[in-house]
Every structure is written in C-alpha cells, then in structure tokens.
Structure 1
Amino acid sequence: MAPATTPSTARDRLTEHTVTVGAPAAAVYDLIADVSAWPQVFGPTVHVEVLDEAPPGGGEQHLRIWAIANGQVRTWTSRRTLDPVARTVRFRQVVTAAPVASMGGEWRVEPAGDGTTRVVLLHDYRAVGDDPAAEELIEQAVDRNSRAELTALKHAAEQGPDRAELHFSFHDSLTIAGAAGDVYGFLDRADLWPERLPHVARLDLVEEENGVQRMDMDTRSPDGSLHNTTSIRVCFEERHSIVYKQLKVPAALSSHTGRWTVEPQDDGTVRATSWHTVTLDPEGVRTALGPDATLAEARALVRKALGTNSSTTLRHAKNYAEDHA
C-alpha cells in the first residue's frame, strides 16, 4: 500500500493511497458501493445511514456517516456519485466536522492484467482557517483511516465466496406491554446494567456529544468466565433506536455490529428487537474452538451466545417497562 501527498493549491491538500487486491474488480467495487456493509468491512466506520438516494439503488446518494478519526467519533454528511461502468465512487462532505472545512475524494477500481485489482483512494481536504496544525491532524486521520480501509477491503474481497459463510445476521424480539420510552430508557442507561442484568459484571460508560456512547463491558458466560468487549454506540432517542459497533470482539469474530429498536404496535404494545450482524474470523475460530471446529459450529455457538445475552436484556427491559406501565 503506497501513500503519496502533494498539495494542489495553497488551500487544498491531496492524498493518494493504493492497494492491490487479489480479487475481481467487480467484487471489489461491490464492497465499496454497498455502504450499508461498511461498518462490517471498514474498521473506522461505526454507522452509515442513507438519507436519500436517486434513483433508488442507483447513482446518487446522500449519507450520514459516523466514524473514528484520531481516536474520536466524528459524524458528517456526504454526497456520493456511483459509476458501476467506470467503477468509480466520488464523494464530497456536505456538512463537515471540525477541524475539517472541506473534504472529498474518489474511489477508483482498476482491473489489472494478472487477474488482480488496483484500488486507488483519493482525498482532497482543507482545514478550518487553513490552520497548519489542524491540517496535520486531518492528514494523520486520513492516512490512518485510508490505510485501515484499504487493508480491510483487501481482506474482505480476497475471502471470495467464503465470505457468504463467514458473514451472517440474526435478531431476537419481544412484545412488551409498556411505553416505548421506558424500554428505550432501559437500553440507553447501560451504565446501570451491572445492577440490572445478571450477565453484566462491569460496565464503564462515557457519554459524548451527538448521542455517542463509549462502553467497556465485562460479561459473564454460563461457565462463569468473563469476556471483555469495547463498543461505540450511537443513540437516537427520537426514534427509540441504538446502533453499535464492537471495537474489541471475541477471538472467533472479526467484526460485530448491532442495533436495538423499539417500535410501537397497533394494539398499544411495543416490539423490542435486538439485531446482530457478525463476520467470523476463520483463524480465530480455530484458536477459540479448536483446529477441527467448523464454521457451521462457530455460527451456532455465536448465535447462541449473543442471542442469549440479548434475550436476557430484552426480558429485563420488558419487566422494567411493564412495572412502570
């Protein structure tokens, strides 16, 4: 992977990062184009929402993105223009996050003659007030994230057909005869989980702006062992929804994202659902479960472990909300 930085004008700075991927260009482009999968593919990306798209499933997208830059969660909105024929994706931030004054760039996916694919990631940016110190911070974040994204893209694309077996989603739901706000409040106040949930041994929660929470949690397994995870959560109180991404995952996983939703029903109840999307790490599966463990066995164990904890949380949220009804 090779970075290069050259200023184009006195105001704008340009960066270029490249990587060669051992996969067909079409498969690589599809991973870049499918922005809904970015939190699973790209480590810095926490959550992405498509605000509008024209035509549906087509070339122009308005996005809101939450991502980690220089250790902090930043959020911004961007416009993307997708060209599947040329295999390019152009992007431009519409609403930036300080210290960025402007940011844009382009993904280029170029087939190579030997069956590999060359991916070029371009950025142009400018700091607020053209501050040199801020420009240095932006350059560090762009360089770090670009390297991480291209490495992750290469890894995901080179999994080929195996990725379908490694990547899966599932959910658990409960109907609750209580108020949506009470259910959401139980899920939002994760700092109280150690005293409310039997499987949570310890939880440190830091609240940041824009509904962002950082969690460091120890959970108990049925055998009594403790497992530590760290997560970023983005909370949407107005829609009673919480999305999250685990930054530190168990050994058998390469990524884990999730979502809590609380939806009013026509009969006056609410439907609370825990959603999980998981990507297994084949090497981690063998390390955690033994050299003869199969991916099917790993999928079943992960489904049971995550589903059991989520269902326990939903049952306690149900009891809490119904006690307050």
Structure 2
Amino acid sequence: MTVREVEHEITVAAPADTVYRLIAEVENWPQIFPPTIYVDHVEKGDQEERIRIWATANGEAKNWTSRRVLDHENLRIDFRQEVSTPPVAEMGGAWIIEPVSTMESRIWLLHDYRAVDDDPEGLKWIDDAVDRNSRSELAALRTNVERAHAATGVTFSFEDTVAVDGAAKDVYDFINEANRWAERLPHVASVTMAEEPPGLQTLEMDTRAKDGSVHTTKSYRVTFPHHKIAYKQVTLPALMTLHTGYWTFTETGGGVTASSQHTVVLNTGNIPRILGDDATVAEAREFVHSALSTNSLATLGHAKAYAEARR
C-alpha cells in the first residue's frame, strides 16, 4: 500500500488568527478557493464537524464528505475524507498556521493519500490534482486575505426576490432545467448542460446583455431539490474575478418566495477598458449589479409565470 505525503506552504501579509478564521469558516470557501464550488455542514460541533465539499480537480467536478478537527489554540485544522471519489482511495491532511510576526503568517497545507488498488496512473492523477489545487488554494488564500486589508467596495453581495403564487417544485424545476433556458429565456442565446453525477451540473451559456453584446460563461451548480441551487461561475465576464451565488425557493403560507443571491469581486484592472478611463469602482459596481439583477429578475419572472400556470 503506497501512501504519499506532501506539503505546500506560503507566507501571507495577515495575522495568523485572521487566516485561521477564514479557513475554519467553510461557508466562505467558494469565494476564497478557486477549485471550491460549494460547501455545507452535515454535522457541526465545537471542535469537530462533518462537511460536504463540491470542487473541481484537474478540470473535473467532484464531491466528497470530510471530517474536520478544529484546534484554534494551536491554529491547526485536521481533515480526512470519509468516502473518497476514485481514483482516490483515502485522503487526509492538515492546515497549520504559523505566526511570523503580528502582521505576517506562514500557512502549511499537508496531504496524505493513496490511490485505488495502488494504481500508478491513479496516483499520478492525484499527485497532479493535489499539487495544482494546493498551489491554487494557497495563492488564492493569500490574495483574498490580503485584499481584506486593501480597498473596500471591490467585493459585494445582493439578492433579488419575487413572490410566486405557485408550488416550490415548479419554480425549482424551471431554474434546475437550465438546458431548456435558450427556448424559455429571451436573454439566453445558447446553453449546454451536463449533469454527472446527479445533482452536480456543468453549465455553459451565451447570454445577451442590455446593449446586445453576447457573453459566454461557464458555471458549476449544486442542486438541493426543491429548495436551493448553489453555483459558481468559472468563466467570467471581464469586470469580475469572482461570481458565486444561489437560488432559493421558500414555501410561504400561500405560495413561494424565490430569490437569487450574488456575491461578486470586481476585476478593477479591467474597469478602464470596459467603462472608460474615468470610471470609478462605484460605477463598476453599479454596472455589474444592474447587469446581474436584470438577468436574475428576468429569469425569476419567467419561473414565476411557469409555476403559476401550473397551479
């Protein structure tokens, strides 16, 4: 049985306690780590928890459940996958944060793993995935931790909501069946969707903006019938470096409250090229907010009509 042990490390300009908190709060991982699509808690205690993770590895979307032990005093988080996805037979490791000074920390990311049937090709696949994801995660963690100490206003969230006189399942079905959006939504020019395994969707879409231009995006979506669909865009328009969000469907006394939530990080380097040399971050925020809101409300409006016609 071949068990591989590897480690990666990086130094960041942020206090060790801040870094530990960001890693401990898994709800924020889709915003912090590029490979992570969505994370939720299965069980949560004071120091031990079980989490479900959906993430990409070597360009493939995977999901698994891990146990974590959180040790705030020693700035250490140990993790181990409960049921791994082939070619991984077993995987675990630890995050260790080491204070360098009051405003600088060193982060260590440790992994140990083995391949199904000790297959050499499987082990090579895992080696590549762990190395790529670890480097990506650490670099992104440094960027996001250090961004918190930089300009404000670059990251923002908002939500659009409509009331539907219909069933939650029908509203959910409309949003879930994104493969039919080109025929159902005027702002969608074309769409390709794959779902493997069930509940984990890969969505590639061309959408029309208000000015008539067409933008190509790629997203991964995690579905929870019939109350939530979480997503992360991985091919982004020029003004964004990050876009995550979720659709929620909440039954009320007489119908459904359907919402679309967005979290965005602006690509400030592209603001002059897209909006002009004198454009501000505030103007870029308003531009992106308006574009996303317009499409979300249009989609929710069509979902509302679809569900109410079936009541």
Partners of 1:251 and 1:287 within 8 A in 2: no
**What residue in structure 1 maps to residue 310 of structure 2?**
324
The answer to whether residue 41 in structure 2 is matched with residue 50 in structure 1 is yes
Cα distance in 2 between the residues matched to 1:24 and 1:123: 24
Match of 1:177 in 2: 165
Report the counterpart of residue 11 of structure 2 in structure 1.
Answer: 20
Distance (whole Å) between structure 2 residues aligned to residue 30 and residue 171 of structure 1? 25
Structure 2 counterpart of 1:180, one-letter code:
A
1:174 Cα deviation from its structure 2 partner: 1.0
Q: 2:231 aligns with which of 217, 220, 244?
A: 244
Count of residues paired in the alignment: 311
Q: Does 1:34 align with 2:25?
A: yes
Q: Find the aligned partners of 1:86 and 1:167 in 2 and give their Cα distance.
A: 30
Contact 1:107 1:120 in 2 (8 A): yes
1:161 is paired with a residue of what secondary structure? coil
Q: TM-score, normalised by structure 2?
A: 0.95
What is the aligned counterpart of 1:274 among 260, 278, 295? 260
The 8 Å contact of residues 15 and 102 in structure 2, kept in 1 or not, is answered as no
Matched to 1:51, the amino acid is V
CA distance in 1, matches of 2:150, 2:279: 16
- TM-score between both structures, scaled by the size of structure 1: 0.91
Amino acid of the residue matched to residue 213 of structure 2? S
Q: 1:259 aligns with which of 246, 253, 278?
A: 246
Distance 2:49 2:284 in 1: 36
Q: What does residue range 1-325 of structure 1 map to in structure 2 within 5 Å?
A: 11-55=2-46, 59-113=47-101, 115-162=103-150, 164-237=152-225, 239-267=226-254, 269-325=255-311
Give the CA deviation at 1:29: 1.9
C-alpha distance in structure 2 between counterparts of 1:133 and 1:46, whole Å: 26
Between the aligned partners of 2:229 and 2:148, the Cα distance in structure 1 is 31
- Confirm or deny: 8 A CA contact 1:62 1:77 kept in the other structure: yes
State the identity %: 49
RMSD: 1.6
Using the alignment, how far apart are the partners of 2:153 and 2:49 within structure 1? Answer: 29
- CA displacement, residues 178-232 of structure 1 (integer Å, 9 cap, x when unaligned): 1222111111111111111111111111221131111111111111111111111
Most deviating of 143-152 and 132-141: 132-141
Please list every run of 5 or more consecutive structure 1 residues that lacks an aligned counterpart in the other structure: 1-9
How far residue 272 of structure 1 moved from its aligned partner, in angstroms, is: 0.9
Find the aligned partners of 2:109 and 2:151 in 1 and give their Cα distance.
23
Distance in 2 (alpha carbons) for counterparts of 1:114 and 1:319? 56
> Could you tell me how far 1:116 is from its partner in structure 2?
2.5
Distance 1:164 1:47 in 2: 25
8 Å CA contact 2:5–2:110 kept in 1: the answer is yes
Matched AA of 2:227: H
Question: Could you tell me which amino acid in structure 2 is paired with residue 133 of structure 1?
Answer: E
8 A Cα contact 2:210 2:291, kept in partner: no
Unaligned runs of 5+ in 2: none
What secondary structure sits across from 1:86 in the alignment? coil
CA contact under 8 A between 2:200 and 2:220: conserved in structure 1? yes
